[in-house]
A and B are shown apart, each in its own frame.
Chain A
Amino acid sequence: MILRELSANSIKEKIIKREITAQEVVEDLFKWIGLKESLIKAYISLDKEGALLKAKEIDEKLNNGGRVGLLAGIPVAIKDNICTWGMKTTCASKILENFTPPYDAFVVKRIKEEDAIIIGKTNLDEFAMGSSNENSAFHVTRNPWNTDCIPGGSGGGSAAAVTADMAFMALGSDTGGSVRQPSSFCGNVGCKPTYGRVSRYGLVAFASSLDQIGSITKDVSDAALLLQVVSGHDCHDSTSANVEVPDYIAGINSVNNNLRIGVPKEFFGEGLNPEIESAVKNALGIYKKNGAELIDLSLPHCGYALATYYIIATAEASSNLARYDGVRYGHRSQLSEDNIIDMYSRVRAEGFGSEVKRRVLLGNYVLSAGFYDAYYIKASKVRNLIKSDFEDAFSKVDCIISPTCPSPAFKIGEKITDPLEMYLSDIYTIPANLVGIPGISIPCGFTTTGLPIGMQLMGKHFEEEKILRIAKLFENETDFHLKKPGLK
């Protein structure tokens, strides 16, 4: 048995049963990180000292017979766009390279309260803008399955850390697929809950109406555990939903009767890698064998999802990123400044990478007088059409299954010069963000070159429990989630 390869639930059980101490788990993990991090580069910063301190606290609590939280002793990695009090939160951007938040994000507060051990902050595309991790201002994270490949984005650091057993679970953020796509590329379970299910307070905003914090874990049970802790209403987020959170942990093992699974033809068309298509079709066959009814359906407006997304997301991003001006915090140019406009220009020219600049420019353009109606308003209308497509679909099915991505992880540098090609990588994940519904990516196979393939399950608003349960059914029938990359 190799400790670090255990699931979060299993390691927690061992800690609680005092078969092993939380400190031993942390020590073991950091030893492994010391060996492999230079290759994988999943992290932007690590906090061994803080992790050991927390581990000691948990061990002492257990020794004294005290009560421990739901995440007792589990080492967790956090995407570096989620604010951590006293720990740098850089968004993988030069502009926030030295920014230390004076407060904890809602989710960070929650996992701390449940005795999780935060081990470090993971790499991402700058401000979560990207699908490969190549837009990080600091370094490119590598895919543990093939280190010539990208781990996906923007949450590639979190996904790679979990896959390489350098964290037991991780928090990410998903604006257009940033949890699900890297989970698919790295062979993890990545869940993006319903918009409003998990408070965004403390998540550095990219596109406010699309951003949602999610989980990257080794299996479905771990996803249920982490979501159980971070879900729920938060009065500091006006868009946070005051909807009761069911017991996910118990819920995933309930029986799925009369399951109706929707198969949308738009997600199986042109551009889909045939190996992925056959893996997902194979998975659908497993569901059918288990009594599910497969229903062909159409989501006709999904063809416009990508275009709609890039208007709304860039519009919101251009405004959300306006605050990085060097006035109150963040990067300040060393060059002399003649006036305030000069200062703004230098700070932003030096502080932002090219993809961020591209999106800020796009966003400002679509919001400009004379273009607002043609772009932003039209995109908002199309977004509503896509929503009704899904509403119609969910009147007939319990869950919609599709590939998570049209292709497996690609080579570092392969798509970086072609932003449009890169954007296509999120074509299947974006609709769930536009509609606000939950989506989960689970491993469903491997390519002949040994790269993981992910399958996406989407459910109705606030029906995370149902899609987790359906995902669990598949996991029980297969062992894709147990496969490990050969990092030894």
Chain B
Amino acid sequence: MKYEVVIGLETHAELDTESKLFCGCSTKFGSEPNTQTCPVCLGLPGVLPVMNKKAFEYSLKAAVALYCEINQFTNFDRKSYYYPDLPKNYQTSQNYFNIGNNGYVDMVVAGKEKRISIHNVHLEEEAGKLIHPESSDANYSLVDFNRAGVPLLEIVTQPDMRSIEEVESYMQTLRNILLYIGVSDCKMQEGSLRFEASISLREQGSAIYGNRVEIKNLNSMKAVSKVLTYEISRQSELLDKGEDVLMETRLWDDVNSSSRRMRSKEESHDYRYFPEPDLVPFWIKQEWIDETMATIPELAVSKRQRFVKEYSLSDYDAGILTDDKLLADYFEECVGLSQDSPKELSNWIINDVLRELKERKLNVQHFVISPKMLTELVKIKPTIGSSIAKEVFVEMINTGKSAHAIVKEKDLVQIDDTSELNEIVIKVIGDNPKAAEDYGQGKKNALAFLIGQTMKITKGKANPKILTELFKQRLSSISQ
């Protein structure tokens, strides 16, 4: 392409706390409108905010996980603008002393490592939600304040991304980090993770940034990709025609897949930030930062590399296992119980466990087959054979019983005893003289038929390997 794309991203992640940022109201999603409110989050006269300690700790944790410099003196500021979903008509946010600055996210795009700089990480309160009546001539709107005051983490990057692929990778990586450190559930369908993008184009090789367009209201990663594709073509068309791209804020319309102007640069808000006098400044001592650092788990990027090295998994498999921290933990718990078969355990998890979880829309935490149960199944698999093992797996899900119990109950142990099998082989050959003859004349699929007959009699329990050997021996001795 003729132009280089320059993209920066602001991510809003609702923190996964029980109560709101400044009051005790629940943050539960999906309740009846305005049932999770109190004088504080409704902005009634005379109320005051009290910081939710957990929300503050989560923000600090995120800032540390994103390698930010932590501001040892951090403070909150009021950001003023009028909107009916904002109870106080100012949002308590951070502007002058963010909790973290100058961090970064390392990620892998198309096999190559790339670092995205984080400008700042800060904590603020959510607004409520406007509900517009469906009828077009309605002269009112409704407001639901259940969401008002939910703690919101804002993560702002530098304009470091140069393609949609990089943006997608950044969003995935960031989401993954937030999930790994357990500060947000990142549920996009519930609005827990939202984005704002800024994008400009410039001639390849140019050192000067082009005019920047900001796009708000991006409620999913898909929307971000769509809007950026749309903007790249809109802006390149303008530039191709020799026209200027206007500095403006645009609003993404997900239904019509297009963006429209919200306001120009001239109309941009003056938020009149000033320090929030109702909260006291926070002093974050080095010990607190160190303690927080110690709670950050191994993140996906390094876990994936370790899985490849330590368990000899493919990078692809390691990627799948580490995408979800709980799945990675599940795998490692299995490996801890049975060190000799990481590859086989990984196959079971990636093929069977994930399939069942997806079908049942379950989290691995709530999966009926515990790591101990799966490991046991893998251990006894040689005694029952792969195909019966798969059946046992399904039975385990349906009944919640252990592999041992099922095998015992259903008498599924493989028949490995050569003399026992030999007797059956002789009987099957005696019963099917035609097939034995065909084999002698070089018709190899006659063997498959005979084995099939044997399996019928043994209900699939005959060890297929031994069985094949016995048939070959017997049949060749007959034909000689």
Residues of A whose CB lies within 8 Å of any CB of B are: 82-83, 89, 91, 96, 99, 101-103, 105, 200-205, 207-209, 235-239, 315-316, 318-319, 322-323, 325, 327-329, 340-341, 344, 364, 367-369, 372, 376
Nearest 4 A-B pairs (CB), nearest first?
A: A322-B89, A208-B277, A367-B272, A209-B277
Q: In the complex the two chains form, is B46's CB within 8 Å of A238's CB?
A: no
For residue B47, which residues in chain A have a CB less than 8 angstroms away from its CB?
201-202
Q: In the complex the two chains form, is B78's CB within 8 Å of A204's CB?
A: no
Q: In the complex the two chains form, is A89's CB within 8 Å of B84's CB?
A: no
Q: In the complex the two chains form, is A316's CB within 8 Å of B270's CB?
A: no
Which residue of chain B has the shortest Cβ distance to A96 in the bound complex?
A: B45
| B87 partner, pick from A207, A237, A319, A323, beta carbons under 8 A | A323
- A91-B90 CB under 8 A given contacts A316-B277, A368-B270: no
State in angstroms the CA–CA spacing of A99 and B45 once bound together.
Answer: 9
State in angstroms the CA–CA spacing of A235 and B47 once bound together.
Answer: 12
Task: Given contact pairs A238-B279, A328-B143, enumerate 19 new A-B contacts (beta carbons under 8 Å).
Answer: A91-B45, A102-B39, A103-B39, A103-B44, A203-B46, A205-B278, A238-B51, A238-B278, A239-B48, A319-B90, A322-B80, A322-B88, A323-B43, A323-B88, A329-B44, A367-B272, A367-B274, A368-B270, A372-B272
State in angstroms the CA–CA spacing of A203 and B45 once bound together.
Answer: 8
State in angstroms the CA–CA spacing of A318 and B271 once bound together.
Answer: 12
How many residues in B have their beta carbons less than 8 Å from beta carbons of A? Answer: 29
State in angstroms the CA–CA spacing of A84 and B278 once bound together.
Answer: 21
Residue B82 lies at the interface, judged by CB distance under 8 Å to chain A: yes
For residue B48, which residues in chain A have a CB less than 8 angstroms away from its CB?
200-201, 236-239
| B46 partner, pick from A83, A364, A369, beta carbons under 8 A | A83
| A327 partner, pick from B50, B84, B272, B278, beta carbons under 8 A | B84
Q: In the complex the two chains form, is B279's CB within 8 Å of A325's CB?
A: no
* Distance from B251 Cβ to chain A, minimum over Cβ atoms (Å): 16
Residues of B whose CB lies within 8 Å of any CB of A are: 39, 42-51, 78, 80, 82-84, 87-90, 143, 270, 272-274, 277-280
Interface residue SS majority, chain A? loop
- A325-B44 CB under 8 A given contacts A103-B39, A238-B279, A372-B274: no
Q: In the complex the two chains form, is B143's CB within 8 Å of A327's CB?
A: yes
State in angstroms the CA–CA spacing of A329 and B88 once bound together.
Answer: 12
Q: In the complex the two chains form, is B39's CB within 8 Å of A89's CB?
A: no
Q: In the complex the two chains form, is B82's CB within 8 Å of A319's CB?
A: no
Interface residue SS majority, chain B? loop
Q: In the complex the two chains form, is B274's CB within 8 Å of A204's CB?
A: no
Residue contacts A-B, CB under 8 angstroms, 12 given: A208-B278, A235-B50, A237-B48, A238-B278, A318-B272, A319-B80, A322-B82, A325-B82, A328-B44, A367-B272, A367-B274, A372-B273
For residue B274, which residues in chain A have a CB less than 8 angstroms away from its CB?
315-316, 319, 367, 372, 376
State in angstroms the CA–CA spacing of A334 and B44 once bound together.
Answer: 22
State in angstroms the CA–CA spacing of A239 and B279 once bound together.
Answer: 7
Q: In the complex the two chains form, is A328's CB within 8 Å of B50's CB?
A: no
For residue B270, which residues in chain A have a CB less than 8 angstroms away from its CB?
368-369
For residue B87, which residues in chain A have a CB less than 8 angstroms away from its CB?
323, 328
State in angstroms the CA–CA spacing of A83 and B366 once bound together.
Answer: 48
* Distance from A322 Cβ to chain B, minimum over Cβ atoms (Å): 4
State in angstroms the CA–CA spacing of A319 and B51 once bound together.
Answer: 19
* Distance from A342 Cβ to chain B, minimum over Cβ atoms (Å): 12
State in angstroms the CA–CA spacing of A105 and B78 once bound together.
Answer: 23
State in angstroms the CA–CA spacing of A237 and B44 once bound together.
Answer: 15
State in angstroms the CA–CA spacing of A239 and B281 once bound together.
Answer: 10
* Distance from A361 Cβ to chain B, minimum over Cβ atoms (Å): 12
Q: In the complex the two chains form, is B277's CB within 8 Å of A105's CB?
A: no
* Distance from B130 Cβ to chain A, minimum over Cβ atoms (Å): 10
* Distance from B80 Cβ to chain A, minimum over Cβ atoms (Å): 6
For residue A369, which residues in chain B have a CB less than 8 angstroms away from its CB?
270, 272
Which residue of chain B has the shortest Cβ distance to A377 in the bound complex?
A: B274
State in angstroms the CA–CA spacing of A103 and B45 once bound together.
Answer: 10
For residue A340, which residues in chain B have a CB less than 8 angstroms away from its CB?
82-84
State in angstroms the CA–CA spacing of A363 and B39 once bound together.
Answer: 25
State in angstroms the CA–CA spacing of A91 and B84 once bound together.
Answer: 23
State in angstroms the CA–CA spacing of A340 and B140 once bound together.
Answer: 10
For residue A83, which residues in chain B have a CB less than 8 angstroms away from its CB?
45-46
Which residue of chain B has the shortest Cβ distance to A341 in the bound complex?
A: B82
State in angstroms the CA–CA spacing of A89 and B47 once bound together.
Answer: 13
* Distance from A78 Cβ to chain B, minimum over Cβ atoms (Å): 12
* Residue of A96, A102, A322, A329 contacting most chain B CB atoms (<10 Å): A322
For residue B39, which residues in chain A have a CB less than 8 angstroms away from its CB?
101-103
* Distance from B62 Cβ to chain A, minimum over Cβ atoms (Å): 22
Which residue of chain B has the shortest Cβ distance to A329 in the bound complex?
A: B44
State in angstroms the CA–CA spacing of A162 and B172 once bound together.
Answer: 66
State in angstroms the CA–CA spacing of A111 and B277 once bound together.
Answer: 26
| A238 partner, pick from B45, B143, B272, B280, beta carbons under 8 A | B280
* Distance from B366 Cβ to chain A, minimum over Cβ atoms (Å): 37
Q: In the complex the two chains form, is A239's CB within 8 Å of B46's CB?
A: no
Which residue of chain A has the shortest Cβ distance to B49 in the bound complex?
A: A238
For residue A201, which residues in chain B have a CB less than 8 angstroms away from its CB?
46-48
For residue B44, which residues in chain A have a CB less than 8 angstroms away from its CB?
101-103, 328-329
* Distance from A428 Cβ to chain B, minimum over Cβ atoms (Å): 24
For residue A372, which residues in chain B have a CB less than 8 angstroms away from its CB?
272-274
- A325-B89 CB under 8 A given contacts A209-B277, A367-B272, A376-B274: yes
Which residue of chain B has the shortest Cβ distance to A365 in the bound complex?
A: B272
Which residue of chain B has the shortest Cβ distance to A83 in the bound complex?
A: B46
Q: In the complex the two chains form, is B272's CB within 8 Å of A105's CB?
A: no
For residue B50, which residues in chain A have a CB less than 8 angstroms away from its CB?
235-238
State in angstroms the CA–CA spacing of A445 and B84 once bound together.
Answer: 53
Which residue of chain A has the shortest Cβ distance to B22 in the bound complex?
A: A238
State in angstroms the CA–CA spacing of A29 and B88 once bound together.
Answer: 40
* Distance from A103 Cβ to chain B, minimum over Cβ atoms (Å): 5
State in angstroms the CA–CA spacing of A362 and B312 once bound together.
Answer: 69
For residue B42, which residues in chain A have a CB less than 8 angstroms away from its CB?
328
Which residue of chain B has the shortest Cβ distance to A325 in the bound complex?
A: B89
* Distance from B43 Cβ to chain A, minimum over Cβ atoms (Å): 5
State in angstroms the CA–CA spacing of A38 and B174 once bound together.
Answer: 68
State in angstroms the CA–CA spacing of A328 and B273 once bound together.
Answer: 24
- A202-B46 CB under 8 A given contacts A327-B84, A340-B84: yes
* Distance from A44 Cβ to chain B, minimum over Cβ atoms (Å): 15
State in angstroms the CA–CA spacing of A215 and B88 once bound together.
Answer: 29
* Distance from B280 Cβ to chain A, minimum over Cβ atoms (Å): 5
Q: In the complex the two chains form, is B46's CB within 8 Å of A204's CB?
A: yes
Which residue of chain B has the shortest Cβ distance to A234 in the bound complex?
A: B48
For residue A329, which residues in chain B have a CB less than 8 angstroms away from its CB?
44
